[in-house]
Amino acid sequence: AQTVTQSQPEMSVQEAETVTLSCTYDTSESNYYLFWYKQPPSRQMILVIRQEAYKQQNATENRFSVNFQKAAKSFSLKISDSQLGDTAMYFCAFMKQPPRDMRFGAGTRLTVKP
């Protein structure tokens, strides 16, 4: 079974600074997707970014980027120019292909301080 580990239960960052959230996963699959989801206090799950395992290029979405190290099974999220609205729980997730089940990490609570 796939497992996803987020080793940082809580993190904080000053507004406008950069922060990196860590995620490692364990799988024997070769074809899979990785995701970062954000959950603000509203409880809504919001997709931040996704990465296809077969792509070597790291995904980017505006201020959000990932460092995908397939051999090391590592998938970290970098948030640049942090904003107060980035305060949320962040979940790393793994889905093998074809889509069957998505496994989530325990989450990292990020607080952006003014």
Partner 1 sequence: NAGVTQTPKFQVLKTGQSMTLQCAQDMNHEYMSWYRQDPGMGLRLIHYSVGAGITDQGEVPNGYNVSRSTTEDFPLRLLSAAPSQTSVYFCASSLRTGREGANVLTFGAGSRLTVL
Which residues lie near partner 1 (CB under 8 A)?
A: 1, 4, 6, 9, 33, 35, 43-45, 47, 50, 91, 93, 95, 97-107
Distance between CA atoms of residues 21 and 72, nearest Å = 16
- Closer CB to partner 1, 47 or 84, in the complex: 47
Distance between CA atoms of residues 39 and 57, nearest Å = 26
Shortest distance in whole angstroms from residue 86 CB to partner 1: 19
Element containing residue 90 per DSSP (H, E): strand 88-96
Shortest distance in whole angstroms from residue 61 CB to partner 1: 12
Shortest distance in whole angstroms from residue 21 CB to partner 1: 14
Identity of the residue numbered 105: G
Distance between CA atoms of residues 56 and 70, nearest Å = 8
- Closer CB to partner 1, 1 or 71, in the complex: 1
